Amino acid sequence: MILRFLIWALLSSSVCVAAEPILPLHSVATDERKVALGRQLFFDTRLSHSNEVSCASCHQLATHGADKVPRSKGVAGRLGDVRAPTVYNSVFNIRQAWDGKAIDLKAQVTLPVENPKEFATTWPELIATLNEDKSFVSAFKQVYKGGLSSDAISDAIAHYERSLITLNAPFDLWLQGKGPLSEQAQEGYRLFKYYGCINCHQGKNVGGNMFAKMGTFGDYFGDRGTPIEPADYGRYNVTKREADKFTFKVPGLRLAARQAYFFHDGSEQSLEGAIDTMARYQLGRSLSKAELKAIAAFLESLVGHHQEMTP
């Protein structure tokens, strides 16, 4: 009797999570003491030369964890080479940064610290600055054996970023049979799978777990109308393999519906415009307005919440 009931419950549920290419998000294990230190550091402008910018300057947590401009301003107003990606749910990415140059969140911390267009500092300069704050030094000694160091700073920020997961998205609740999903969003999900978007955007973060060439079915960079820049070479800048030119880490789409700009170059400002561009250059398809709106509704349903976000 119990077995028959379980089979009935499984078959009668609207969606079987295990059968879907997208999985609900979940929290990951963190050390709360390190998370607290990491949060302080994330908002601390002392991480940059002349105390001008912080991690939070380019990764605005109240909205979408990315920037509201196509290219972020670093020290002395210098513009970055690519659009700042969202830091939310980044723990689920196979690698960090558009070109995947950082193997994990901890390794990623060094990138802005030493980048002359971002924090424009060095670890010795940064640690010397923080060492002047005795309460900060004491707090680190309580959590890390070696006290304040580049490794401890990177680890603390990485722990905080590991905690930045947007839970309870309408789509996730629907997957688990815990909530409704609009017919338009369900149709968008069906189209998302039918047209092949799911081939690159799947898993917990709906992306972030593979690399792909920008412009599989068309000359994206030629049609863009602006000169190719070094950052446009993507993964090639890391591997120096010709086959990796114009290849980037596929972005997770969990907060795509909240983004202000899209793609590594920030060349698109509208969600439906970004969907249309991806359909044309990555799938070789032309979508109707109704299809664009349905897929946009699906992407909207992927937006979950975190306590750092404004309700």
Query: Which residues carry out catalysis?
Result: 118
DSSP alpha helix (H) spans, the chain: 2-12, 32-42, 55-58, 105-108, 110-114, 123-131, 134-143, 150-162, 170-175, 183-194, 220-224, 236-239, 271-278, 289-300
CA torsion angle 100 105 110 116 (round to 10): 60
| Helix or strand (DSSP H, E) at 248 | strand 247-249
- Tell me how crowded residue 68 is: count the other CB atoms within 10 A of its CB: 13
User: Which residue bears the tokens 């109707």?
Assistant: 288
First to last CA, the chain: 45
Residue 111, classified by CB atoms within 10 Å of its CB into exposed (0-12), middle (13-18) or buried (19+), is middle
In 3D space, the residue among 89, 88, 108 whose CA is nearest the CA of residue 97 turns out to be 108
